[in-house]
Amino acid sequence: MHRDYAVTAPVQIRVYEDRLVIWNPAVFPEGWSQQTLVGRHVSHPYNPDISNTFFRAGEIEAWGRGIERIFAACRKAGTPKPRLRFDAGGIWTEFAFGPDYLESLKNPVSAAAETLGKTPDRILDLLKNKPDLTVPEMAAPLGKSESAVNRALQRLQTLGQLRRAGSRKSGHWEINL
């Protein structure tokens, strides 16, 4: 059994109990094979105008590294490398859920709390001494981007370990450990 999710057509996403499957339309450049795509290669975007728009918006950091970055992210997370299947109209990317992820679904709050990470812990340390810090004031001493700090703050709030009291300008953070 699976659930289908509506996304911008014609991409398809299916979520199963043990894996995530994404289908995306794709046309290989002339002379390319599956081996070319998964190896180091020069990028040949199907629609260069759309690709350039995403690059200028900061959503793409380098051409021709998407598959490589997906594989690296899976290695870093300790999850299996996705399985790629190709057909005449597109690419099927299948992400098997690792045993740790499946276990975390049984108890998401305790599993997330166990692997909180360095940045959230360092944010809590900063806020213990000065609860009125803003995101930019936290980012600088942590050596992190504001978006990284915002993600860590969101995670702390989701886990119930941190709460914002008041506005963004005149409010403060309350730690709930």
| Least trusted range by pLDDT, from 55-69, 79-93, 131-145, 159-173 | 55-69
Q: Which numeric CATH code is attached to 107-175?
A: 1.10.10.10
The residues, any chain, with a CB within 8 Å of residue 30's CB and separated by 6 or more, are none
Instruction: Answer yes or no: are the C-beta atoms of 146 and 135 closer than 8 Å.
Output: yes
- Would the pLDDT of 106 be above 70? no
Helices (H), the chain: 34-38, 48-56, 66-77, 99-106, 108-114, 118-129, 135-142, 146-158
- pLDDT digit string (tens) for 151-174? 889 888 888 889 998 887 788 999
- Would the pLDDT of 103 be above 50? yes
How is the chain split into domains, by residue range?
2-100, 107-175
Residue 10 burial (10 A CB sphere; 0-12, 13-18, 19+)? exposed
* Identical fold between 2-100 and 107-175: no
**Cα–Cα distance for residue pair 30/33, rounded to 1 Å:** 9
Q: Positive or negative, the Cα torsion across 57, 141, 163, 114?
A: positive
Question: What is the residue type of 127?
Answer: L
Q: What's the fold here for domain 2-100?
A: Heat Shock Protein 90 (3.30.565)
Q: pLDDT-based confidence at 50, cuts 50/70/90?
A: confident
- Per-residue DSSP letter, 133: -
| Least trusted range by pLDDT, from 70-84, 105-119, 120-134, 155-169 | 105-119
The SS3 of residue 89 is: coil
